[in-house]
Amino acid sequence: MANSWWEIKVLCDPTLEDAVFWRMETFGCRGTASQIKNSSCLLSAYLPEEKAHLLDLAALSLLLRQDALCWEVPVPAVTWDLIDEQDWSTAWKQHWEPTPIGDRFLIYPAWLALPQDSDRILLRLDPGVAFGTGTHATTQLCLESLEMRLGGDNKGAVIADIGCGSGILSIGAILLGASKVYAVDNDPLATRSTKENCELNQISSDQIIVRDGSILQVIQLADQPVDGIVCNILAEVIIDLIPQFAAITKKNTWAILSGILMEQAKPIADTLEQHGWVVATLWRRQEWCCFNIRRA
């Protein structure tokens, strides 16, 4: 089947939800959605057919079984099927509804009619095949941290979003008052999604500058150090990036780092200390954490 995608469905105990999200992200899935079904959680994830074979999917199922045994919860039911690209582009949308985050945001699916009135900041989103719908704990922690950072004197801040995904953090920063964001991602599908979501939210290409790549592209684009960094990707990648942050920061630059499991917090903290960063706060949600840091 041309342009086919694996649709992976996991029916699990709700306490296992974040672990399943993390497994799916690590496995390479480019889109996820979840819903509560009776007393269980049903997660759907999508992956291009050429990225996984049946043996890979069987191995993923085994890892999820082992996670459940470690958490002492029932073993999840895992199924997978091939669907064509057109089906994938709409299949997961039926499960995603408006999501309030923090005190100010309402993440709003682009295909729904806008609400008549809302006292929250509407962030319209169509993630496509990019990670970042606002449902995952790490994304929510980052948006809540941005609410804290971009109040008062921090309006007008210039920010680097490294690993921008769907652009949700870049757009959230602009809606909170940042003046400019450099949004970069190694996945061209992610940068395309970020551009499309900028248009949805009527944000210009001068406000969010989107490029394929990573911190090197920020170094090339920025004519001066940035005020803040947001980075919601895998902990192993963050550890590699921390030594490079110095090239785009100044003495009062702050950063928000997430995509980090609690068990990975210590090596992140140690690396930050070695490179002149202080942990201001460490927020936790289930097994995930978010570092709010500043220059020492």
Q: What is the pLDDT of residues 207-228, one digit of tens each?
A: 999 999 999 999 999 999 999 9
List the structure tokens of 173: 């920063």
Q: For the chain, what is the domain count?
A: 2
Q: How many CB atoms lie within 10 A of CB 8?
A: 25
Same domain? 133 vs 268: yes
- Last residue of one domain, picked from the residues 64, 94, 124: 94
- Last residue of one domain, picked from the residues 94, 109, 133: 94
Ordered strands of the 99-101 beta sheet: 99-101, 105-109, 121-125
Distance, CA of 246 to CA of 131 (rounded, Å): 27
pLDDT 10s digits, 167-196: 999 999 999 999 999 999 988 888 998 999
Same domain? 90 vs 155: no
pLDDT of residue 21: 86
Are 194 and 136 spatial neighbours (Cβ–Cβ below 8 Å)? no
Per-residue pLDDT of the chain (296 residues; tens, 9 = 90+): 457 888 899 999 988 988 898 899 889 887 777 777 778 888 888 888 888 888 889 999 999 999 999 889 999 999 998 887 655 556 556 666 788 899 999 988 887 887 777 889 999 988 665 455 667 788 899 999 999 999 766 679 999 999 998 899 999 999 999 999 999 998 888 899 899 999 999 999 999 999 999 999 999 999 999 999 999 988 889 999 999 999 999 999 999 999 898 889 999 999 999 999 999 999 998 788 999 999 98
* Residue 223: domain span: 96-295
Using alpha carbons, list the distances in angstroms from residue 46 to 93, 160, 194, 286: 12, 28, 19, 24
Same domain? 51 vs 128: no
Helix boundaries (H) for the chain: 17-27, 54-71, 85-91, 137-149, 168-175, 188-200, 215-221, 235-241, 265-274
Same domain? 71 vs 87: yes
pLDDT of residue 1: 42
Same domain? 183 vs 282: yes
pLDDT of residue 131: 56
3-state secondary structure of 40: strand
Same domain? 33 vs 84: yes
Distance, CA of 79 to CA of 95 (rounded, Å): 18
Q: Considering only CA atoms, which of 128, 124, 157 is closest in space to residue 256? A: 157
Global pTM reads 0.74
DSSP state of 225: -
Here the CATH number for the domain that contains residue 57 is: 3.30.70.260
Query: How many CA atoms lie within 13 Å of 30's alpha carbon, on the beta-carbon side?
Result: 22
Using alpha carbons, list the distances in angstroms from residue 253 to 81, 160, 171, 248: 46, 11, 20, 9
Same domain? 247 vs 142: yes
Distance, CA of 214 to CA of 164 (rounded, Å): 10
Same domain? 55 vs 190: no
Are 166 and 190 spatial neighbours (Cβ–Cβ below 8 Å)? yes
Sign of CA dihedral 140, 174, 145, 268: positive
Same domain? 120 vs 167: yes
Same domain? 246 vs 105: yes
Distance, CA of 112 to CA of 115 (rounded, Å): 9
Same domain? 259 vs 117: yes
Same domain? 128 vs 146: yes
pLDDT of residue 132: 59
- Last residue of one domain, picked from the residues 94, 123, 147: 94
Here the CATH number for the domain that contains residue 172 is: 3.40.50.150
